[in-house]
Amino acid sequence: MSMKSTILGLSLALAFGVVNAADPVFSDAELKAAASLRDAALTGNLSYKILESLTTEVGPRMAGSPADARAVAWGVAKFKELGFDKVWTEPVTFPAWKRGVETAEILAPFPQPLSVTALGHSVGTPAGGISAEVVRFATLKDMMEAPAAALKGKIAFIDHKMAKSSEYGYVQQGRSRGASEAAKKGALALVIRSVGTDSHRLPHTGVMRYEENVAQIPAAAISNPDADLLTRMLARGKPVSLKLTLGAAEAGSYTSQNVIGEITGSDKPDEYVVIGGHLDSWDLGTGAIDDGAGVAITMGAAEFIKRQGLKPKRTIRVVLFANEENGLLGGAAYAKAHEAEVAKIQAAAEADSGQGPAIKFASFVAPEALPLVKQMYSVLAPLGLAAGENDANPGPDMGALKALGVASFGIGLDNSDYFNLHHTPDDTFDKIEPKRINQTAATYAAFAWMAANAPISFGSGSAALKKGAK
C-alpha cells in the first residue's frame, strides 16, 4: 500500500476485500455489459483502423508545423465520421519550432558521417556548422561534476546509455537539461547518445529546455550505434573533432487546437469521463506509437461502446490534445479551460505509452468509491491486468486535471519495446500489432463504460482528492 492510499483513508476492510452492505455497487446488468463490451472489442480492430487512417493520411504532425492543422482537420472529420454526438475544438497557443538541416561528421582522426537529429527547441548552429573537439561524459551528473570551464570551446558528449524503459525518466535529463549544463562550463554545443533502447541508426529526438540567463547552445542526439562509434574513437586516447550543423530555429507563435468528441450521456450529460491521447507527434516518424496509438485507442474505445448499442449514463469525452511533446501544452490549456467543471469530471485517463497491451489498472478516487474500483478491476482482470494502488498517474496531459483534484485512472501499458521506437523515424504503423492494440482498446472501452455508469461520483474536487493530488 502506498503512502497516498493511506492518506486517502483506504480502510483495512477494503484493502482486504470485505464488502459492506452499504458499499456502492454496479448492477449485474452493467457489469455484464462491460464484460461483453470488453470481449467484443478484443477483436474489434476499430482502433487499429483509426490509427491506420491517422498515420497514412496525416503522418508526421509536429506541433506548429504545416501538418498540425491537417491533424486537427483529421481529428474533427474522424470524430464526425465515427458518429460522435458533439465535436469541437479549443485553442492552444505556443511557440513553434522548426527542424531544418541537420548533419554531423567526425573530422578527425577518422572522418565519418554520424546519424544525428536536433533536440526539440534547440537553437541552430551558424550556417557553416560548429567544429570542435568532443569531450565525453558517461552521464549528465558526471558532466555537472566536471571543473568550471572544462568544456570551454569544446562539444560536450553525454553518452548515457538507456538499458530499459524504466530508466527513461532518469536518462532523459541529459536531453532536457544537458545543453544549459554544458553551456555553463563553456561548451559550444551538446551531443547526446539517443535516449532509447534500440540499436538502430535512427536518432531519438525529444524536447529540451534552456535555463534562463545561460548561453543557448545547439543540442542534438546521435543514434546508439553512432554513440558506440564515437566512444570507440575516443577510447583510442587522441582528440576527436566533430562538425555539427543544425538549421533548427524557433518559428513564432502558433495556435493549434485540442480536438474533442463526445458521446453524450443519457442520465447525466453534463458529467463526463475524459479519455484521450495527444494528437501531435514528433516529425521524424508518423507517430504511430507516440501517440497515434493513444488517439486511436480512446477514439475507438468510445465509439465501440456506441456500436455495441450501449448508452452511457454520463458523457464520454475523448480529447485529442495539442502539443504534448513540447511541454504538455494541450493538457494545460484543457485543464485551464475546464477548471470550473472539475466536480463534473467523473474520471480522467490518457493513453500515451504505446499500443499496449494494458497490464495494470490503478485508480485515484475518493475512499467511498474504492468498492466500485474493485468491481471495475474484476471486469478488467481477465485481460491480464494487475491491480495498482490508489495513486494513479492519468498520463502526461491529464496530470493538470489530477492536480486540480480530478479522479483519475492509470491504465498501465506494456512499454518494454516502446523506447526502441519513441521519437524516431521508426515510429510507424507497421509496428502496430492488432492483438495488442485491440486488448488496450478493450480495456479502455470497458473502463470508460463503467466509469460513466458508476452509481456515485469518484470524488473529483473533493477535499480528499485535492489533498491527495499534492
Question: Interface with its own copies by CB under 8 A: which residues?
Answer: 52, 55-60, 66-67, 70, 109-113, 115, 199-202, 224-225, 228-229, 232-233, 236, 285-286, 424-426, 428-431
Transcribe 138-176 into DSSP letters.
SSHHHHHTSPTTTTTTSEEEE-----SGGGHHHHTHHHH
Active-site annotation holder among 102, 181, 324, 350:
324
Rounded distance between C-alpha atoms, residue 115 and residue 223, angstroms: 6
Nearest approach in angstroms of CB 240 to its own copies is 11
Nearer to its own copies, 99 or 185 (CB): 99
Cα end-to-end distance, the chain, whole Å? 18
Nearer to its own copies, 226 or 391 (CB): 226
Instruction: Name the H helices within 8-45.
Output: 12-15, 28-41
Nearer to its own copies, 317 or 436 (CB): 436
Taking Cα atoms as reference points, which of 352, 345, 288, 295 lies closest to residue 319? 295
Rounded distance between C-alpha atoms, residue 173 and residue 195, angstroms: 10
Nearest approach in angstroms of CB 231 to its own copies is 10
Nearest approach in angstroms of CB 464 to its own copies is 48
Nearest approach in angstroms of CB 92 to its own copies is 23
Nearer to its own copies, 5 or 424 (CB): 424
Name, in order, each residue with C-beta under 8 angstroms of 268's C-beta and a sequence gap of 6 or more.
313, 314, 315
Name, in order, each residue with C-beta under 8 angstroms of 283's C-beta and a sequence gap of 6 or more.
60, 61, 62, 65, 67, 99, 205
Nearer to its own copies, 223 or 258 (CB): 223
Rounded distance between C-alpha atoms, residue 470 and residue 466, angstroms: 7
Rounded distance between C-alpha atoms, residue 321 and residue 62, angstroms: 12
Q: Assess contact for 370 and 10: CB atoms under 8 A.
A: yes
The CB-side HSE value for 46 (13 A sphere, CA atoms) comes to 26
Nearest approach in angstroms of CB 58 to its own copies is 7
Nearer to its own copies, 69 or 150 (CB): 69
Nearest approach in angstroms of CB 112 to its own copies is 4
Tell me how crowded residue 463 is: count the other CB atoms within 10 A of its CB.
Answer: 10
Rounded distance between C-alpha atoms, residue 142 and residue 295, angstroms: 39
Nearer to its own copies, 205 or 390 (CB): 205
Taking Cα atoms as reference points, which of 281, 283, 279 lies closest to residue 334? 279
SS3 274: strand
Nearest approach in angstroms of CB 286 to its own copies is 7
Verify whether residue 52 is a known catalytic residue. Answer: no
Name, in order, each residue with C-beta under 8 angstroms of 213's C-beta and a sequence gap of 6 or more.
none
Nearest approach in angstroms of CB 204 to its own copies is 13
With 0-12 / 13-18 / 19 or more C-beta atoms within 10 angstroms meaning exposed / middle / buried, residue 266 is middle
Nearer to its own copies, 56 or 255 (CB): 56
- Give the catalytic positions in this structure: 324
